[in-house]
A and B are shown apart, each in its own frame.
Chain A
Amino acid sequence: MRKAKSIALGVALALGATVASGVMAATTLENVMEKGRLQCGVTTGLPGFSQPDEKGNWTGIDVDTCRAMAAAIFGDPKAVDFTPLTAKERFTALQSGEIDVLSRNTTWTLTRDVSLGLNFAGVNYYDGQGFLVSKDIGVNDAAELDGATVCIQAGTTTELNLADYFRAKSMEFKPIVFDTSEQTVQGFAAGRCDVLTSDRSQLAALRSKLADPSSAKILPNTISKEPLGPVVRQGDDQWFNIVKWVLSVQINAEELGVTSSNADDMLKSDNPSIQRLLGTDGDMGAKLGLPADFGYKVVSLVGNYGEIYDRNVGPDTPLGLDRGINALWNDGGILYAPPVR
């Protein structure tokens, strides 16, 4: 029996010592090409951004950002492995090379961009913090919230934004802090607070969890700027450029009217902008170290930005979010991607 135990111990230690094989190649792109997979850090489950579906497939805007990169690099949007990360460990996972890109609902701030050795490669969703109030209290504007009790999720920038907002307006509030978003909405439903605050993208989803969703409404105010986007390690400009331009290609594709369904027809287009976008003209891919038709692969396999938006958070999804400021610059929004040329 003693021998048996020592064998079991040996096996356990052997399993523990399994080291992720492969020595780091020179650049992230080479490294990813060698693995044949992209390793992408996502949330542990946030509706519309990254959440596993019935079959355990990840879905959401952040997920599609990674799928678009895999489509650009390998021509296969499924060549991605997702690593669920908590808010606390996300930057370490990127810094240590455990993941190649962090696409995890991460707000672009000066501190994060400058002091963590990371680069934000763009914005795939402009969010902001908002309020959900019970209709009973008869409040129509956040400025009327003096003295309110506020349900809030712990450990997020949301908490700091809320304090900043109330202090700036010299209003009082009483925070009631919960651990998860789902507990926060339970607390709100049980009447423990007048107001629930969260990123606007999540408010509609949280409201749908109430027994009677029509008993609460979302206030028009947005009290913070939350530009969310993919993050890469500093010091590998080629990889940074790839992430940045894959995102730009999606936005440009929407602007030029190229969708996943008409991408094949668009290959014959006479428009030089579309030709450069889809790789029928110019050598845009080679400049990035990607295949010439990477733009075509991104749009035909994953879709343009509008399709990704509508599929994951748009008006026909349970989140039901209008484009708002996430519309194109020529359509009332602020999405303005540099041209592909």
Chain B
Amino acid sequence: MTDLSVMPPKKAIGPIQWMKRNLFSTWYNVVLTLVVAYLIVTSVGPLISWFFVDANFMGSDPKDCSGAGACWVFISQRLDFFIYGFYPGEQQWRVDLMFLLLAVAFVPQFIERFPGRKWLGLFGVVGLPVAGYILIPGGPFGLSEVESTKWGGLMLTLILAYIGIIASLPIGILLALGRRSEMPIIRGLCVVFIEVWRAVPLITVLFMASVMLPLFLPEGLNFEKLARALIGITLWQSAYMAEVIRGGLQAIPRGQYEAASALGLGYWRKMGLVVLPQALKLVIPGIVNTFISLFKDTTLVLIIGLLDILGTVQSTVTDPSWQNVAVEGYVFVAFCFWVFCFGISRYSQSLERKLDTGHKS
């Protein structure tokens, strides 16, 4: 027979009991609960009806929007433009293929036991830029050329963010190592580079790249605007990255450096095999933070007339044949950014868990 006196108290209580205890325990809790409930009902209700109930999803022209709720018809009609920009329709399969490769390379990274996951990741870092360099601009293999002025929309946002991220990490590592170097010239150069680039706003960098740089170049030598913007973004981002990584390098105890030297490792093997793997692991949150902020900062290319996803939306919401569709457009952009930034963030968390070797406590 069970002795009731030693049983733990019942954990589960009914919903009414729970509410009584948590929501209506005192008179001011009652007031707070009622006020919050009122706010939720009055604000969430209209939001839901604007987003879904009264919204228009089906149709093909402005008349299909009743005006009572969101006009998603506008988004669905312009979706191709928001994703591909001015990329010619019959060539859009090339961009689709890149989206597919991007998904193939990175979606499995979320699945712990996916076979060949590492190889896919390596492909994502090495193969993907090569594939993109061939597929998107065209040229080789009989692919017709598509000038960078025709790139736009989500595709351009991803290109800017991806190249910025992939290129800034190695440059940032080199700069961070250089800043901690014992060779004064290298150290000096790295310090100057980092401090100069980090001290200017990205908007200034882009503006210089777009407006000032062409005036200094000799006539006839004309970098594409996108290339100028990419170089600017990459250099600016690597200065930030360098400081994040330097933070990691400083967190590694001196003993690790000395132990690696004692094993007879040279500088590069000491750094590559002992110090960097630990340092990078420590600063994953910082690195990812910089990635995410770069992803969002790419929208600044708007000011130099590159139509990324925000630019394509902004250039069309003023179309007078539609009613006021600005809110729908911005909600769509916000959703796209959220999907990608949330994805990056989730990936970094799984990476942290995987690399956790229990040194943290």
Q: Do A and B come from one complex?
A: yes
Binding site for B on A (CB under 8 A): 1-2, 4-9, 11-20, 23-24, 39, 44-48, 51-52, 54-56, 81-86, 88-89, 92-93, 95-98, 180-182, 185-186, 204-205, 208-211, 317-319
Find chain B residues with CB under 8 A from A24 CB. 219-220
| Interface residue? B319 (CB, 8 A) | yes
In the complex, what distance in Å separates the CA atom of A5 from the CA atom of B122? 9
Closest chain A residue to B229 by CB distance? A16
Apart from A52-B312, A318-B319, A318-B321, list 5 A-B contacts with CB within 8 A: A16-B227, A18-B223, A23-B220, A82-B149, A209-B318
Given A16-B231, A20-B223, are A54 and B81 neighbors across the interface (CB < 8 Å)? yes
Grouping DSSP codes into helix (H, G, I), strand (E, B) and loop, the B interface class, with mixed when no group exceeds half, is helix
Closest chain B residue to A207 by CB distance? B320
8 Å CB contact of B170 from A6, A54, A84, A209:
A6
In the complex, what distance in Å separates the CA atom of A64 from the CA atom of B85? 20
**A9 and B316 contact, CB distance less than 8 A:** no
**A47 and B149 contact, CB distance less than 8 A:** no
In the complex, what distance in Å separates the CA atom of A51 from the CA atom of B87? 16
B135-171 vs A, CB cutoff 8 Å, 1 = contact: the mask equals 0010000000001111010000000000100110111
Most buried by A among B147, B214, B317, B320: B320
Closest chain A residue to B223 by CB distance? A19
Closest chain A residue to B166 by CB distance? A8
**A44 and B166 contact, CB distance less than 8 A:** no
| Interface residue? B130 (CB, 8 A) | yes
**A51 and B316 contact, CB distance less than 8 A:** yes
| Interface residue? B133 (CB, 8 A) | yes
In the complex, what distance in Å separates the CA atom of A45 from the CA atom of B122? 40
* Sample of 9 A–B contacts (CB below 8 Å): A9-B166, A12-B163, A13-B167, A14-B133, A17-B227, A54-B81, A83-B149, A89-B210, A95-B214
Closest chain A residue to B118 by CB distance? A1
In the complex, what distance in Å separates the CA atom of A143 from the CA atom of B86? 45
Closest chain A residue to B159 by CB distance? A15
Find chain B residues with CB under 8 A from A4 CB. 122, 125-126
**B122 and A52 contact, CB distance less than 8 A:** no
Find chain B residues with CB under 8 A from A20 CB. 222-224
**A9 and B171 contact, CB distance less than 8 A:** yes
In the complex, what distance in Å separates the CA atom of A19 from the CA atom of B213? 14
**B221 and A19 contact, CB distance less than 8 A:** yes
Q: Which 10 residue pairs across A and B have the least CB separation, nearest first?
A: A45-B315, A96-B214, A318-B320, A12-B167, A205-B320, A24-B220, A11-B129, A5-B170, A56-B81, A85-B305
Given A11-B129, A16-B230, A88-B211, are A52 and B86 neighbors across the interface (CB < 8 Å)? yes
Find chain B residues with CB under 8 A from A13 CB. 167
How many Å from the CB of B114 to the closest CB on chain A? Answer: 19
**B211 and A182 contact, CB distance less than 8 A:** no
| Interface residue? B78 (CB, 8 A) | yes
Chain B residues touching A, range: 35 or more
Find chain A residues with CB under 8 A from B84 CB. 56
**B222 and A5 contact, CB distance less than 8 A:** no
In the complex, what distance in Å separates the CA atom of A44 from the CA atom of B166? 29
In the complex, what distance in Å separates the CA atom of A52 from the CA atom of B220? 29
**B215 and A96 contact, CB distance less than 8 A:** yes
How many Å from the CB of B336 to the closest CB on chain A? Answer: 17
**B219 and A97 contact, CB distance less than 8 A:** yes
**A181 and B315 contact, CB distance less than 8 A:** no
**A9 and B170 contact, CB distance less than 8 A:** yes
In the complex, what distance in Å separates the CA atom of A268 from the CA atom of B330? 54
| Interface residue? B251 (CB, 8 A) | no
Find chain A residues with CB under 8 A from B219 CB. 24, 96-97
| Interface residue? B272 (CB, 8 A) | yes
**A89 and B304 contact, CB distance less than 8 A:** yes
B109-128 vs A, CB cutoff 8 Å, 1 = contact: the mask equals 00000000000001001100
Find chain B residues with CB under 8 A from A1 CB. 122
B2-16 vs A, CB cutoff 8 Å, 1 = contact: the mask equals 000000000000000
Find chain A residues with CB under 8 A from B211 CB. 88-89, 92
| Interface residue? B217 (CB, 8 A) | yes
8 Å CB contact of B163 from A15, A46, A209, A211:
A15
How many Å from the CB of B144 to the closest CB on chain A? Answer: 13
**B214 and A98 contact, CB distance less than 8 A:** yes
**A98 and B169 contact, CB distance less than 8 A:** no
B223-263 vs A, CB cutoff 8 Å, 1 = contact: the mask equals 11101001100100000000000000000000000000000
Find chain A residues with CB under 8 A from B133 CB. 11, 14-15
**A97 and B222 contact, CB distance less than 8 A:** yes
**A18 and B304 contact, CB distance less than 8 A:** no
Closest chain A residue to B126 by CB distance? A4
Find chain B residues with CB under 8 A from A5 CB. 125, 169-170
**B227 and A92 contact, CB distance less than 8 A:** no
| Interface residue? B307 (CB, 8 A) | yes
| Interface residue? B77 (CB, 8 A) | yes
In the complex, what distance in Å separates the CA atom of A318 from the CA atom of B322? 9
Find chain B residues with CB under 8 A from A93 CB. 214
Given A12-B234, A16-B227, are A45 and B318 neighbors across the interface (CB < 8 Å)? yes
| Interface residue? B264 (CB, 8 A) | no
8 Å CB contact of B225 from A98, A182, A185:
A98
Given A89-B305, A96-B214, are A7 and B227 neighbors across the interface (CB < 8 Å)? no
Find chain A residues with CB under 8 A from B333 CB. none
Which residues between 280 and 331 of chain B lie within 8 Å of chain A, taking CB atoms? Answer: 302-307, 311-312, 314-321, 323-324, 326
Most buried by A among B223, B303, B311: B223
8 Å CB contact of B80 from A56, A181, A182:
A56
Find chain B residues with CB under 8 A from A208 CB. 320, 323
Find chain B residues with CB under 8 A from A83 CB. 149, 225, 305
In the complex, what distance in Å separates the CA atom of A317 from the CA atom of B356? 63
In the complex, what distance in Å separates the CA atom of A223 from the CA atom of B214? 36
Find chain A residues with CB under 8 A from B312 CB. 52
**A95 and B170 contact, CB distance less than 8 A:** no
